[in-house]
Amino acid sequence: MNILVLGGGGREHAIAWALAQSPNCDDLFVAPGNGGTAQIAENIATLDVDSGAAVLGFSRDHDIDMVVIGPEAPLVAGVADVLREAGIAVFGPDAQGARLEGSKTYSKQFMEDNGIPTARYASFTELDPALAYIRELGAPIVVKADGLAAGKGVFVAETEEVAEDAVRSCFDGAFGDAGSTVLIEECLTGPECSLLAFVTNGHAFCMTTAQDHKRAFDGDRGPNTGGMGVYSPVPIVTDEELAEMRRIMEVAAAATAKEPFEHDYRGVLYGGFMLTPEGPKVLEFNARFGDPETQVVLPRLESDLVEVMYAVAQGRFEDIDLRWSDTWAVCVVLASEGYPGAYEKGKVILGIDEAEDLKGVTVFHAGTALNSDGELITAGGRVLNVVALGESFDDAREAAYDAVDLINFEGKQYRTDIGKRAASGRGAWE
């Protein structure tokens, strides 16, 4: 099969890496791609991935058999709709399904309609009612830009004043149109956990658990980011909690086979959970693979990803068979100095080959590119995802940080405590 992957981050490098290992993968293209995907596929830097017409034209010109949509923006823009109507297999939901991520208010209503446990909330398009609701609920409280904000439009406010400032920043245009509606919800307590599922024709095929680290600095301090590290599986999840999360994902998947979704939700449904004292509750649904969760989930997948994705794209749920390794995976994100704020690009990266010589280590590129001299350089906020597999959690963590020490670029920024809290047991959240 000829396959086109849309996206240029660490998630897309991990997806392309897994697809390239399949004997069913012939020509592989990634648009726009990055310095890592260039080593395993042909990068298409000029393709407008948010344009259904452009992606369709490229697919026809290159005899593409399946398009895999990585980021949320092309999904919300309806790229999958255009391709499916033209008869091209697409891994990724249509625009209606993507609203589960594109609008947090819509997603919350979906949860209410289907009896999915979540936090108490209200949404607002005007400042004064939003401020009044903050004072009614009190702090701590969570403020979210309703639309797509690249993982940065969420504020966990410890005081009412901070929450009010967050609401004002949304309405003042800090997140563009994404902040024109603001969601305010109660602050749930407990550890977070992600559970992703392949979804097609109303059936959910759950993957393995993962736990991201959103805050920029050690000790879960600093601003939210797109993710600074992750591991899989999550050792603190009980059997009862896992069963409940799977049940919730199955309920959500079944709902996508009904109006208004019908049968066009074919892709990944990402469940972001909080493990509260009352049981797992959904913080958010996303309509695609997580980043950086993908980077630890797919290396543990033993099934042929091409076969799985093609079955999902065609609605053949009866042909999906997921098999997972017993290894542990830990990912440490290397970021540019200043991320998630302003940062410089163009720093030369050294040591990746030496890092990947370590047993079980793979480095997925995120914000990288090649300069005019053919050198690998930084080209984004999150630069690299250093992933290590190990027979135990401790083995994987140690290998990941050994690899991190071998990679260098000016201003390298990373967290030193990825997985440390979970290694201490559930009591670390009490």
Q: What is the pLDDT of residues 171-223, one digit of tens each?
A: 999 899 888 999 999 999 999 999 999 999 999 999 999 999 999 999 999 98
pLDDT given at position 263: 63
The residue-averaged pLDDT of 50-60 equals 98
420 backbone dihedrals φ, ψ, rounded to 5°: -65, -40
Nearest to 377 by CA among 354, 406, 402, 348: 348
pLDDT given at position 223: 86
The yes-or-no verdict on residue 86 having pLDDT over 70 is: yes
Structure confidence by residue, pLDDT tens digits, 391-405: 999 999 999 999 999
Residues of the chain with CATH 3.40.50.20: 3-92
Q: Which class for 60: exposed (0-12), middle (13-18), buried (19 or more C-beta within 10 A)?
A: exposed
pTM, full prediction: 0.94
What is the band of 424 on the pLDDT scale with cuts at 50, 70, 90? confident
Q: Strands, E, within 50-147: which ranges?
A: 66-69, 89-91, 121-124, 141-145
DSSP, collapsed to helix, strand or coil, labels residue 183 as strand
What is the band of 350 on the pLDDT scale with cuts at 50, 70, 90? very high
Please count the other Cβ atoms lying within 10 Å of the Cβ belonging to residue 309: 28
CA dist., res. 397 & res. 149, Å (int): 30
The residue-averaged pLDDT of 150-161 equals 85
Edge-first strand order for the sheet with 154-157 is: 121-124, 182-186, 141-145, 154-157
**Share in percent of the chain as helix, strand, coil (round to 5):** 35, 25, 40
The pair of three-digit structure tokens given for residue 35, joined into one six-digit string: 């310095």
Structure confidence by residue, pLDDT tens digits, 240-252: 999 999 999 999 9
pLDDT given at position 262: 65
Does the domain at 126-180 match CATH 3.30.1490.20? Answer given as yes
404 near 349, Cβ under 8 Å?
no
Q: Across-strand partners of 331?
A: 230, 387
Residues of the chain with CATH 3.30.1490.20: 126-180
Cβ contacts of residue 320 below 8 Å, gap of 6+? 198, 200, 203, 205, 308, 311, 312
What is the band of 259 on the pLDDT scale with cuts at 50, 70, 90? confident
Provide the H-helix boundaries in 93-126: 95-102, 104-113
What is the band of 151 on the pLDDT scale with cuts at 50, 70, 90? low
Provide the H-helix boundaries in 204-319: 239-255, 294-297, 305-314
The pair of three-digit structure tokens given for residue 77, joined into one six-digit string: 């823009």
299 near 230, Cβ under 8 Å?
no
CA dist., res. 401 & res. 76, Å (int): 36
The yes-or-no verdict on residue 168 having pLDDT over 80 is: yes
Report the chain's mean pLDDT, rounded to a whole number: 95
CA dist., res. 98 & res. 69, Å (int): 11
CA dist., res. 430 & res. 427, Å (int): 5
For 60, 190, 236, 241, 421, the CA distances from 428, given in Å and listed in that order, are 53, 10, 10, 17, 6
The residue-averaged pLDDT of 290-307 equals 98
Top-tier CATH class for 3-92: alpha beta
pLDDT given at position 152: 72
CATH number for the domain formed by residue range(s) 328-429: 3.90.600.10
Q: Which residue, chain included where needed, has tokens 């066009």?
A: 264
Estimate to the nearest angstrom the gap between the alpha carbon of 120 and the chain centroid: 24
Please count the other Cβ atoms lying within 10 Å of the Cβ belonging to residue 50: 16
CATH architecture for residues 189-319: 2-Layer Sandwich (3.30)
Low-confidence winner among 81-85, 113-117, 177-181 (lowest mean pLDDT): 177-181
Residues of the chain with CATH 3.90.600.10: 328-429
Q: Across-strand partners of 424?
A: none
Specify the DSSP class assigned to residue 419: T
293 backbone dihedrals φ, ψ, rounded to 5°: -55, -40
Q: Which residue, chain included where needed, has tokens 């099969």?
A: 1
DSSP, collapsed to helix, strand or coil, labels residue 426 as helix
The pair of three-digit structure tokens given for residue 68, joined into one six-digit string: 């895999």
For 115, 231, 324, 423, the CA distances from 394, given in Å and listed in that order, are 38, 11, 19, 8
